[in-house]
Structure 1
Amino acid sequence: MYNDYFSETPTYGASFFRHRFRMNRALFIRIMQAVEQHDDYFVQKRDNIGHLGLSCLQKVTAAYQMIAYGVPADFMDQYVRAAESTNIKSLRRFVKAVVEVFGDDYLRSPNEQDMARLLAIGESRGFSGMLGSIDRMH
């Protein structure tokens, strides 16, 4: 996985990374590093007999793939080499960390400036006074 997407000369280029992870590599790494700094669970550690545990990259990739593609936790075992229970724990901790780290900036209700900007965008596209997406109007 590291060689495929994260090495200095990855097997797959930027466009394939964006397709696979639904974001560019720099953003993925920014989120991963923020999560690792926020929650010690994501820091790679050694077990009681000295074996290295899963890396932050493995845990975040498992969580992200489950979110992005809806794949089950036991499907990720072959890809990131982690047990189903570990993938579920990684997902829960990842979501909690993302909300705690980025929630105030990105997961808030729109303020007046946001609403004005969104209304202007809608107006420029011929949808005057509309904030919602037309494909979500029921």
Structure 2
Amino acid sequence: MTATMRMLAYGVAADSVDNYVRIGESTAIESLKRFVKAVVAIFFERYLRSPNNDDISRLLAMGSNRRFPGMLGSIDYMHWKWKNCPIAQKGMYSGYIHEPTIILDGVASQDLWIWHAFFGMPGSHNGINVLDRSSVFSLLTQGHAPPVNYLINGNDYTMGYYLADGIYLQWATFVKIISSSQGNKQIYFAKAQESTRKEVE
């Protein structure tokens, strides 16, 4: 467990923990594989999956209670600093912050259920590049979407959406922040959108 935790926490190679914990490289790799399999076996049914119909109903109810009918969650991405990035890969993993990072793209609900996490893209990418490779919209691009029905201003909608910040594309599935709010309606909406989106931050 010590070798596994050190490899996961610090991103070090298996042969770098052999002196610290007095086990061989092959044993450290085997320990890591068993740990990952155990995590998947324990948490797959509840966490490591897309929402089913019951989950979607719960997510839509939470969105409606927060004055965002049809909302499936809040989406965002972040840069995770990679302290022990190999020198050969630093260029590929360094982006605008000039340090190696790995990108985490996630969707969270009000109860902090992170039902989508896409981790591992090099830090030189941005949210648009990550979104192209993420699985959260793979079914949507094939024409499949969760069954959603809601009414806003007399218009019927059949596609759920996500609250997002300004970096994301102008897609119908994103309700983005209004960056330069003008007038009471836009200011009110921007405040409501920001306060509802805080769980993913």
> Structure 2 length as normaliser, TM-score?
0.31
Larger proportion of strand: 2
Larger proportion of helix: 1
Q: Which has the larger radius of gyration?
A: 2
> Structure 1 length as normaliser, TM-score?
0.42
